[in-house]
Structure 1
Amino acid sequence: MPEAITLVLSPAEAADLDTIRRSARRKLGHPVAADRIVFTRRSIDARKRPIRVNLGLSVYDDNEPMDAQCPVFQYRNVATAEPVLIVGAGPAGLFAALRLLELGLKPVVVERGKPVGPRRRDVAALNRRGILDSDSNYAFGEGGAGTFSDGKLYTRSKKRGDHKRVLQRFYQHGADAAILYEAHAHIGSNRLPGIVQAMRETILRHGGEIHFQQAVVGLTIIGGRIAGAVLRDGGRLAARAVILATGHSARDVYGMLLRQGIALEAKAFAMGVRVEHPQELIDRIQYHGQPRGDHLPAAAYRLVQQVDGRGVYSFCMCPGGFIVPASTEPDRLVVNGMSFAKRNSPFANAGIVVEITLDDIPGLTSGGPLAGLDYQETLERLAFQNGGGGVVAPAQRLADFVAGRPSSTLPKCSYPPGVTASPLSAWLPAPIGRRLQAGFKAFDRRLKGFLTNDAVVVGVESRTSSPVRIPRHPQTLQHIDLDGLFPCGEGAGYAGGIVSCAVDGERAAEAVVSYLI
């Protein structure tokens, strides 16, 4: 058995393998070879000075076989196996497909958007020229919204499945080994497309199918059971089980389900803005005024505050990142965040959002299960109008936003299509705007210097979670009224973020096997 030890080192020491080896030797009392060390955990403790790095190590002796960093997943050839239809090629859909390969069923993935290569060109056209393709953008296309994100691979929902398997699958498909041991692992938007493509190749190589630029517009139902799906081009696919993994931006899917009499529920969600600071300022706050240097990552933060009975919190914090246009319709404006693997942008951004409960949704009774969706769209249209049309985003200096005064000028901003000065504090719905203002004041008490006019608020961040749930049985994971339909992931209201969606996709695949076999 390897010897498991923990080292507490300075950032510079933790970046030097020879120093790590010598420290391990002193702790264990015997020589340690650098190539017999396996990292099991790495985290930064910046709560006080001096900043320390906690390293978990497994140290092997010279004659001991070293454990593989990643198990070998046994994918079967499923070309002639029973098909399972998967709607959506985001994290939930892709991981459901990979799990089906292991379990011996054939994944048939239908994705409304394009493969990752041409999708990248569409995203570039959106950034540079404001040209929006409603089926190929930051939300839709191979890999889903997760492809163009920071690629954060940590989750607080670890009771629902084996999140380590998710990290191992990413590593198997090209991610750096650091994701297996970093406390706050991430991949980066520049590396995710290649990993997503490698997953596609695994699915196809083992007999699965992927149909791009094909939207599902209806479900085939016979005798109260799923029998397949209808495609936008009029084609049909037959299957006794459908995994619905469409993500929360596929609003037309909710409409389709409602028209077919399939039960939906309104649920709580969150909306707000994206705030961007100079990364150097966040580093200075989080690292107690000392320079980040070469051995500390771009600093992040996580903030939460209760304001008038609602949570105000940071979401999808992207250190060293960029704000990006995440709209999926031409007359609405949505922003999100991303960062590359090195997180080397001079900006730090995060969604700062307000919890929206069912009591907060105007017209809930008359709007039915899609009332929250309508509320989202109202906010997105306001942002579109106040940005002047297109994908230019409305923005306001942070201190001005909190004070309720217009900004005559704006600081530099990473948002590629550009920002225009707009009084968000005046036109955001009052329950959201005033809670954001109070939340920012509270955050500044925790992170001194956070509330500054060197930061900018950009609107709007409205797609943090789904305002709709597709109800399913907790044991079988099937829809409560329709056998053979397995809603999963963010769009179904059961996950949030890459890892939890991937775990939910795997669970859906396992539930399908129990249903069919």
Structure 2
Amino acid sequence: MRTIDIVVLPEEASNPEYLRKIISKEIREKEFEFVVRKRSIDARRTPVKFNLRIDIYINETIPPAINTTTYQNVANKKQVIVIGFGPAGMFAALKLIELGYQPIVLERGKDVRSRRRDLAAITKNQIVNPNSNYCFGEGGAGTYSDGKLYTRSKKRGDVNAILQVLVEHGADENILVDAHPHIGTNKLPKVVTDMRETVLKYGGIIHFETQVTDIILENNKIKGVIDQNNKTYQADQVILATGHSARDIFYLLDKKGIEIESKPFALGVRVEHSQDLIDAVQYHCDIRGEHLPPASYKLVQQVKKRGVFSFCMCPGGIIAPCATAPGEIVTNGWSPSKRNNPFANSGIVVTVEPEDLEPYKKYGALAGLKFQEAVERATFVGAGNDTITNNGQIAPAQRLIDFINNRTSTTLPDCSYKPGVVSAPLHSILPKTIVEHLQGGFKAFGNKITGYLNRDAIIVAVESRTSSPVKIPRDRELLEHPQIKGLYPCGEGAGYAGGIVSAAIDGQKCALAIHHKIQAQ
């Protein structure tokens, strides 16, 4: 086998016969097989090119793209409780089965199919179910908010192993090749369902609509948990993978005197442009060619010693209502697999500093969480939602150019946010320091992307769930809570991941840590 790197035009990248001619000239062989292993876009100059890494096989058969994982039946094996069935919980459960343990999964939300009705209720009726929404339910926040699989966390673990498991459960094999892999909100539910079926097939147990409300401790060792119906689940090893929005867990740990820490996070808005504009600027063209995917961007700027940066950019996407309780507004973004909606949206956020948390200092480790809650409530009120019933998901919005100039917009352009937007003075609603840094960041981005500050660009508030504002400490090597033996804080909610792939890696790591501990006993 040989590996070569070539640079081709977009239309050439999808032409096998053309690639064969190029390879033949490169290796001076006529008889061979080949497969594209990695693909990335170089749009820095005109014309846009594709970088391809190609494996070539001479007198050899191309090996299969995926290796099927070997699972064993664990119906009567030692039980490990997994709280949460998002990426961290799912991959932890699968790894536990692989290692010979029976996962008992407790998920507060519903399965993906039942969950759809609650998401529809948010959009149509503007009613938030606090246990079943865009953040809570089978597959976690990733299931219905995009499925971007790009990660910079290469040192945390084997990224390709995570992608292999996803492909094994129905994801497109292109995620193994693309530099910025993406499954799409329309396809993720089937992948998640297939992963659940694997857990059940090999003896794992999953309880949906089961919210953990208490932890059973004895001499600082975990003995089990209790759900909302006062039912007890016993186990001496518990993986806590509840995600960045499970505030009740943070409150529970704090109440029980279990150590938690305040953690840095970021907060801001969603900005939306025409996808055609982003395509034209990023690809240096008037109209994007059929062989190019909708363009994305990544922006970062230091403004008065604070980072302002793009987060979860969604080409051809939609701004989604992601509140987890009545009386708050939270936005996020997602894209279908084809990324074929007319808008491009991205979170633009500012790092939250200790000075922002001064009014909430009395809450200790929960100061960031309280600040986050206050801003989400302020955007709910600022949009004129019903403060008596706390129903309503209308989001406050503003033309980007008006926000920069501290003007309330008299009209708003079209926007993908389905519950609806209303003009509001976000420069007055959001915290002053956040506003100042966002305004400085937007001005800088306008110098980096031509047309970024155009009249039809709109911002929608608030983008506040970039990561957890609370960290649950754990031993660096054992991954166990330093105070509570048998408790394994895991994934985004504990502060050890920043997306689907890194959360999945962390879930696997916690399962392995439990295995190593048990083997050593």
Query: 1:216 & 1:274 partners in 2: Cα distance?
Result: 32
Tell me the alpha carbon deviations over residues 169-213 of structure 1, each in whole angstroms, 9 at most, x when there is no partner. Answer: 101000001000100010000000000000000000000010000
1:423 corresponds in structure 2 to 425
* Structure 1 residue ranges without an equivalent (≥5): none
Map 1:344-359 → 2, pairs under 5 A: 344-359=340-355
Helix, strand or coil at the partner of 1:141: coil
1:24 corresponds in structure 2 to 23
Instruction: Check whether the contact 2:360–2:371 (CA below 8 A) recurs between aligned residues.
Output: no
Tell me the alpha carbon deviations over residues 460-483 of structure 1, each in whole angstroms, 9 at most, x when there is no partner. Answer: 000001110001110100011010
1:413 corresponds in structure 2 to 415
- Displacement of 1:427: 1.8
1:144 corresponds in structure 2 to 140
Query: 1:454 & 1:118 partners in 2: Cα distance?
Result: 37
Tell me the alpha carbon deviations over residues 432-487 of structure 1, each in whole angstroms, 9 at most, x when there is no partner. Answer: 00100000001111112111221100000000011100011101000110100000
Instruction: Check whether the contact 1:32–1:59 (CA below 8 A) recurs between aligned residues.
Output: no
- Displacement of 1:364: 4.6
1:371 corresponds in structure 2 to 367
2:262 corresponds in structure 1 to 266
Helix, strand or coil at the partner of 1:362: helix
Instruction: Check whether the contact 1:318–1:337 (CA below 8 A) recurs between aligned residues.
Output: yes
Instruction: Check whether the contact 2:34–2:62 (CA below 8 A) recurs between aligned residues.
Output: no
The count of aligned residue pairs is: 513
Q: TM-score, normalised by structure 1?
A: 0.98
2:388 corresponds in structure 1 to none
- Displacement of 1:20: 1.6
Query: 2:375 & 2:127 partners in 1: Cα distance?
Result: 21
Instruction: Check whether the contact 1:266–1:358 (CA below 8 A) recurs between aligned residues.
Output: no
- Displacement of 1:66: 2.0
Matched, 1:39 2:36: yes
Q: Percent identity?
A: 51
Which residue identity does 1:437 align to in structure 2? Q
Query: 2:252 & 2:428 partners in 1: Cα distance?
Result: 36
Query: 2:397 & 2:194 partners in 1: Cα distance?
Result: 38
Which residue of the other structure, out of 293, 305, 324, is the alignment partner of 1:309? 305
Runs of 4+ in 1 over 3 A off after TM superposition: none
Query: 2:15 & 2:248 partners in 1: Cα distance?
Result: 52
- Displacement of 1:166: 0.5
Deviates more, 1:40-49 or 1:130-139: 130-139
* Structure 2 residue ranges without an equivalent (≥5): 386-391
Which residue of the other structure, out of 473, 476, 481, is the alignment partner of 1:474? 476
- Displacement of 1:516: 2.2
1:6 corresponds in structure 2 to 5
- Displacement of 1:359: 3.5
Which residue identity does 1:169 align to in structure 2? V
Query: 1:325 & 1:225 partners in 2: Cα distance?
Result: 39
Tell me the alpha carbon deviations over residues 299-339 of structure 1, each in whole angstroms, 9 at most, x when there is no partner. Answer: 00011111111100000000000001000111011010000
2:339 corresponds in structure 1 to 343
Helix, strand or coil at the partner of 1:40: strand
Deviates more, 1:358-367 or 1:166-175: 358-367
1:85 corresponds in structure 2 to 81
Tell me the alpha carbon deviations over residues 465-516 of structure 1, each in whole angstroms, 9 at most, x when there is no partner. Answer: 1110001110100011010000011100111110110011110111111222
Helix, strand or coil at the partner of 2:90: helix
Deviates more, 1:355-364 or 1:474-483: 355-364
Instruction: Check whether the contact 2:360–2:370 (CA below 8 A) recurs between aligned residues.
Output: no
Helix, strand or coil at the partner of 2:493: coil
Query: 1:234 & 1:60 partners in 2: Cα distance?
Result: 60
Instruction: Check whether the contact 1:267–1:357 (CA below 8 A) recurs between aligned residues.
Output: no
Which residue of the other structure, out of 298, 322, 329, is the alignment partner of 2:325? 329
- Displacement of 1:19: 1.6
Cα-Cα RMSD: 1.1
Matched, 1:443 2:450: no
Query: 2:255 & 2:375 partners in 1: Cα distance?
Result: 25
Which residue identity does 2:437 align to in structure 1? R
Query: 2:506 & 2:8 partners in 1: Cα distance?
Result: 37
Map 1:39-58 → 2, pairs under 5 A: 39-58=36-55
